[in-house]
Amino acid sequence: MKTAVIGYPRIGKNRELKFESEKFFKGEATEAELLETAAELRKGYLLKQKEAGISFISSNDFSFYDNVLDAAVLFNIIPERYRALGLSSLETYFAMARGYQGDKGNVKALAMKKWFNTNYHYIVPEIDDDTEIKLSGNKPVEAFKEAKGYGVDTKVSLVGPFTLLKLAKYTGSKSAKDFVKPLTASYIELVSRLAGEGAEWIQFDEPSLVKDIDAEDKALFNEIYQSLLDSKKSLKVLIQTYFGDIRDIYSEVTALEFDGIGLDFIEGRKTSELVKTNGFPSDKILFAGLVNGKNIWRNNYAKTLDVLKELKSLGAEVVLSTSCSLLHVPYTLSSETKLTTDYLKHFAFAEEKLSELSELAKLSDFAESGNVAAQPAFTANQALFHGRVDSVDEAVKARVAAIKDSDYTRLPEFHEREKLQKEKLGLPLFPTTTIGSFPQTQDVRQNRQKFRKGLISVDEYTEFNKKKIAECIKLQEEIGLDVIVHGEYERNDMVEYFGENLAGYIFTEKAWVQSYGTRCVKPPIIWGDVSRKNPITVAWSKFAKSCTNKPVKGMLTGPVTILNWSFPREDISIKESTLQIALAIRDEVLDLEANGIDIIQIDEAALREKLPLRKSDWYSQYLDWAIPAFRLVHSGVKPETQIHTHMCYSEFTDIIPAIDAMDADVITFEASRSDLQILDSLKENNFKTEVGPGVYDIHSPRVPSVDEIVNALNAMRDRIEDSKLWVNPDCGLKTRGETETKASLINLVKAAEIIRNK
């Protein structure tokens, strides 16, 4: 049996791409040095896959920032404001991703959104009416030739034309259908170039096919691929889908002249049913996504081999594949030196998933003859699935079982609470605040590292952080912010920090995963039942409150986000895990309130992340328990206690009623990159919650002007009542520099004062 990998992590075993890119941004590395680092990373993971015996290895899956942005640049989808900067090609690319502020101009970055149901973020292509779509680069061809030079024959992968058109933002009167012909012609030209270089396969990633597909979408898809497939020449075309099933368009996809079709059997709830009921064409290769590309638990070989046996009976050739790109899992277990074998044997990161693919391919032959049970690789694998007794906490399970319907409801209702909170807090119109974190400077990181290594005492560690908190509060008072935060200097990550204080979690050393660009996260692993071991944030919040007479926000991460940004268990439901976490965070909320914290922010940045990609599944599969889980966290507080939440970099316009049903008192969210589009939806849905749309983009180093923020606030006031509008950045400030942070917040406060005075 042959094997395939859809895509591979590109950050490197030790995040080499991140560090070299950041040096390039700071002018500490040349473009040539950055390109050299990237080439070494590509060579390493291409040869790694070849050594593992992978049959279908992808090239062109590497990106300096994002594959969707790569495709946009490849096909000349570059807005004029970036061209006008007169930068090099690579600098223009980064300006689109990060924004630019310098001697050649000042432009914001393109919008950034979550990549379907993952914590990875893609850059949204922006197509103007006068955009001239054409093939304006050669990156896929160069990637193929580079791999060939290493002795690796690859399938060339890139974002497919249907998904590229569906994800793009159209700024004028034209829509996707107006750009079908030039984009299809550009893809055809690329196919011709690759065929001329001797490429055998091209992989078009079309994850948009797993969403709801209507008649217009089908027409768009057919128009693109009928032309493209008619012109493919000797090149074989693999259409690759993932993150779900293609129930709405299965018959159309299988009827077209694709040489291979990639289907997700992990997240595709109806994929098995589709192929069993409708069959699969015998003249095409089925790339079966059966090794999970998003979670880190070992594959259950018995279950996978059973599915493979059924698929082989369909009569078509079957290739065993990952369910999606391995971009979403860490690089290798070999970097983990602190976790014992008792833990590590249960996990498979990207490198280990290559071994799983190879082992499964060999075992599939034994499964055919009925001798698989005698194979050592099979018996060792099955021993992992006999249960982990250390994962069960009966008290936690009993507490979840005892939750009542009334525990999900906060009383009194919002409008009555709103009046009481305004009286108690006495905040001005357009209150100013931040989302929570302040810059994590080198001295902050060094203090944490010294403490972790045992080089300083608990008292020394604590005193350093208290000093930073006091300085942070003094800075906020000088700037004039109305609601103060403590800066979160004690936190390494908004999820890992809480996980370290919850029973049921385990942690890795170097299991980094790319979130966007150079931003990497290290998701903790939910090993067992979750409960709070002791108060987590109370002491820091109490100290911060003692440093100021202004209101101080207690800062927490919500249960849905903690779950979504962890690697979850697979032996119990996600709902049950989330409710366990919700009860733990509820305990923290009530402790903060009991210690005089009047404003508590419970971030749900990742609320949408696990939202099913099909609307028909939204409530039954997710929102019916995710929204109540958030309400469970705060339903026990007093009416005067103000509950905030925060969300970022997702599409929220279509779930506004669900967000309002979270019953928070204030919600802040990203809006600066999306040109405040969400505000119209808030108005249309009579959104009751007070709201703070982000007035500037913190993921860009540029400092917004006062006028820019004033203009944003005026646009907000057209859609939001003055009494409900908060003024804040669109996310935490952890990754920003101190100088730009201070300058941006000074301008933010000035802008709020101008609006108040008007």
Task: Give me the active site residues, please.
Answer: 699
**Backbone φ and ψ of 645, nearest 5°:** -145, 165
- Please report the DSSP string for 555-603 in residue order: EEE-HHHHHHTSB--SSS-HHHHHHHHHHHHHHHHHHHHHTT--EEEEE
Per DSSP, 427 falls in state P
Contacts of residue 314, defined as CB under 8 A and 6 or more positions apart, other chains included, come to 275, 279, 280, 282, 286
Structure token digits, residue 53: 């015996």
Which of 104, 122, 10 minimizes the C-alpha distance to 66? 122
Which of 550, 553, 499, 489 minimizes the C-alpha distance to 527? 499
Structure token digits, residue 251: 């018959």
User: Which residue type does 751 have?
Assistant: A
Cα 346 vs. chain centroid, distance in angstroms?
24
Alpha helices in 408-522 (DSSP H): 414-425, 442-452, 458-479, 496-499
Q: Is 450 exposed, middle or buried (0-12, 13-18, 19+ CB in 10 A)?
A: middle
Distance CA 705, CA 697 (A): 12
**Backbone φ and ψ of 170, nearest 5°:** -105, 115
Q: Is 402 exposed, middle or buried (0-12, 13-18, 19+ CB in 10 A)?
A: exposed
39 and 20 Cβ atoms separated by less than 8 Å: no
Structure token digits, residue 15: 């995040």
Which of 243, 119, 65, 100 minimizes the C-alpha distance to 648? 119
Distance CA 384, CA 400 (A): 27
Which of 152, 142, 145, 203 minimizes the C-alpha distance to 44? 152
CA distances from 270 to 162, 228, 246, 319 (A): 22, 28, 8, 19
Distance CA 384, CA 683 (A): 52
Distance CA 691, CA 669 (A): 8
Whether the ω angle into residue 704 lies within 30 degrees of 0, i.e. cis, is: no
607 and 119 Cβ atoms separated by less than 8 Å: no
Pairing mode, strands 154-159 and 201-205: parallel
Which of 526, 447, 525 minimizes the C-alpha distance to 487? 447
Pairing mode, strands 553-557 and 599-603: parallel
Distance CA 291, CA 5 (A): 10
Q: What residues are paired with 169 via a beta bridge?
A: 126
Which of 286, 5, 3 minimizes the C-alpha distance to 157? 5
User: Angle at Cα 113 formed by Cα 112 and Cα 114, nearest 5°?
Assistant: 140
Rg (CA), the chain: 26
